Amino acid sequence: MKAVQVSQTGGPEALEYKDVADPKPQANEALIEVKAIGLNFIDVYFREGRYPAKLPFIDGQEAAGIVREVGSEAKNVQPGDRVAYTGVLGAYAERTVVPAERLVKLPDHVDFETAASLMLQGMTAHYLTHSTYPLKNGETCLVHAAAGGVGLLLVQVARMLGAHVIGTAGSKEKAKLAKDAGANEVILYQEQDFVQETKRITGGKGVHVVYDGVGKTTFEPGLDVLRPRGYMVLFGGASGAVAPLDLIKLSQKGSLFVTRPTLASYISDPAELQQRAHDVLGWAASGKLKVSIGQKYALKDVQQAHRDLEGRKTTGKTILLP
């Protein structure tokens, strides 16, 4: 089968589209014929070696497809089931094996591309707004990169919960996407100081929570837009790693909270995984949550897909097709 393997970590050129041996499911696994693959920044981190994996490995952590074979101990799925998953390496391939308990069955009205768009980013939006900082009706949040894959979903889910949403975006085109998703205001960060604008919008009070997937360039200024006892939720580093923080600053700026969550900690329990996926896929099936697939690439063009993702040339979700 064809797959994208990393034999040596590095830049996009480390992604090798090549023939590899077909995988075989172990007792607790299922073999999936992959129909659509979600591209995420965590794929870049593994490719670079920022997140270590035993070499060589097949990159990618999110996909949807059809169960073709199951191991003897796989009880919750059977051949022919339409499924999706996230959090297991090996998605950049025509076929992959996944622990059966990590698979989620798809509702009838959710297609493979939508499912591959929602498992990582949709459940990220879910845990950020429902668990890490449970947004309440009437509260105000700041969502960085509001036109990105997670950003567009975060905006929608935050509005579902009754929050007032301020987004940041890098262009007028991206600002329109964030507005169309439901953002109450969008700050063009290349033209406006997002700290000053956020303070103006909130009448100097600040926001209850900042959802920051950008990192290096936004983290420290973001502390200045939080109201006392506000939450800085740093869930990604698209612009680079955040510098070490002297914790005394948190007291000086109003007894602030800072957390660095990851999805894995919020879906490690199979029941929690199923509940979050049930909510997100259900919203998509009912039309309450709209997925914006901005780009599609053939799997063989994965190097260009990574370059475009890192160069901030993408909007919404990016899908790879085997």
Domain at 2-119+267-321, CATH homologous superfamily: Medium-chain alcohol dehydrogenases, catalytic domain (3.90.180.10)
In this predicted model, which residue has the larger pLDDT, 316 or 49?
49
Q: Is the Cβ–Cβ distance between 313 and 305 less than 8 Å?
A: no
The whole-angstrom distance between residue 234's C-alpha and the CA centroid of its chain comes to 13
pLDDT bin (cut points 50, 70, 90) of residue 170 is very high
| 7 within 8 A of 59, measured Cβ to Cβ | no
For residue range 236-256, list pLDDT tens digits in order. Answer: 888 888 999 999 999 999 999
The reported pLDDT for the residue numbered 239 is 86
**What is the structure's pLDDT at 257?**
98
Query: Could you tell me the two tokens for 216?
Result: 């290096």
Q: What is the CATH number of domain 136-260?
A: 3.40.50.720
Q: 3-state class of 21 per DSSP?
A: coil
Q: How far is CA 278 from the centre of its chain?
A: 17
The pTM score is 0.92
For the chain, give the mean pLDDT: 96
CB neighbours of 106 closer than 8 A, spacing ≥ 6? Answer: 64, 82, 83, 84, 112, 115, 281
Q: With cut-offs at 50, 70 and 90, classify the pLDDT of residue 18.
A: very high
CA-angle at 24, arms to 18 and 28, nearest 5°: 135
**Domain spans, the chain:** 2-119+267-321, 136-260
Average pLDDT over every residue of 142-153: 94
CA 299 from chain centre, in angstroms, equals 19
Tens of pLDDT, residue by residue over 67-126, are 999 999 998 999 999 999 999 999 999 999 999 999 999 999 999 999 999 999 999 999
Cα–Cα distance measured from residue 229 to residue 70, given in angstroms and rounded to the nearest whole number: 49
Whether 2-119+267-321 shares its CATH topology with 136-260 is answered no
Query: For helices 112-127 and 270-286, what crossing angle results, to 10°?
Result: 120
What is the DSSP code (8-state) at residue 255?
S
Three-state DSSP class for residue 154 = helix
